[in-house]
């Protein structure tokens, strides 16, 4: 069962890495769960940490054109960042970035933890 879950998670992560070429989402690393540091695609306006299955802080405020950096530090449980149909690779370590170009309120979740939710507020 665990192997099937890991295989599915890897497949989902690989699909996101391939599709991210046209999106401002930037996974740092290979999408295999172990990511290396990468340069963010835009100035980082906020940092969110995945700690014990929760996002901290749960709400961040940035300006248009800035990115949010999500970080996993080992030992961490696997997690991802999902905005509707857009999802990051599943990570256990490393960083994931997403650029926000338009003002608005963006809610996200982690598919592995019902309690892991967050909000990005983009103010003009």
Check residue 9 and give its pLDDT: 41
Check residue 32 and give its pLDDT: 34
Under a CB-based contact definition with an 8 Å cutoff, are residues 90 and 10 in contact? yes
Using CA atoms, how far apart are residues 56 and 7, in angstroms rounded to an integer? 28
Domain that holds residue 43: 2-122
Under a CB-based contact definition with an 8 Å cutoff, are residues 62 and 46 in contact? yes
Burial per residue of 34-56, b for 16 or more beta-carbon CB atoms within 10 angstroms, e otherwise: ebeeeebebeebbebebeeeebe
Using CA atoms, how far apart are residues 64 and 90, in angstroms rounded to an integer? 26
Please count the structural domains in the chain. 1
- Residue with tokens 């994931």, as numbered in its chain: 96
Under a CB-based contact definition with an 8 Å cutoff, are residues 86 and 34 in contact? no
Counting other chains too, the contacts that 15-18 makes at CB distance below 8 Å and 24 or more residues apart are 16/87, 16/88, 16/89, 17/89
Check residue 79 and give its pLDDT: 93
Check residue 12 and give its pLDDT: 40
Using CA atoms, how far apart are residues 55 and 71, in angstroms rounded to an integer? 9
pTM of the model: 0.71
Blockwise average pLDDT, block size 10, the chain, 124 residues: 40 36 41 50 95 94 98 89 94 94 98 94 97
Check residue 75 and give its pLDDT: 83
The CATH number covering residue 75 comes to 2.60.40.420
């Amino acid at each position: 069962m665990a192997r099937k879950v890991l295989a599915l998670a890897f497949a989902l992560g690989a699909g996101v890495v391939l599709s991210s070429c046209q999106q401002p989402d930037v996974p740092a690393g290979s999408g295999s769960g172990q990511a290396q540091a990468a340069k963010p695609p835009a100035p980082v306006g906020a940092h969110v940490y995945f700690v014990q299955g929760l996002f901290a802080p749960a709400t961040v405020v940035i300006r248009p054109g800035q990115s949010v950096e999500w970080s996993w530090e080992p030992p961490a449980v696997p997690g991802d960042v999902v905005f509707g149909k857009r999802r990051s690779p599943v990570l256990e370590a490393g960083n994931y970035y997403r650029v926000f170009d338009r003002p608005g309120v963006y809610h996200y979740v982690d598919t592995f933890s019902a309690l892991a939710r967050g909000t990005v507020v983009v103010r003009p």
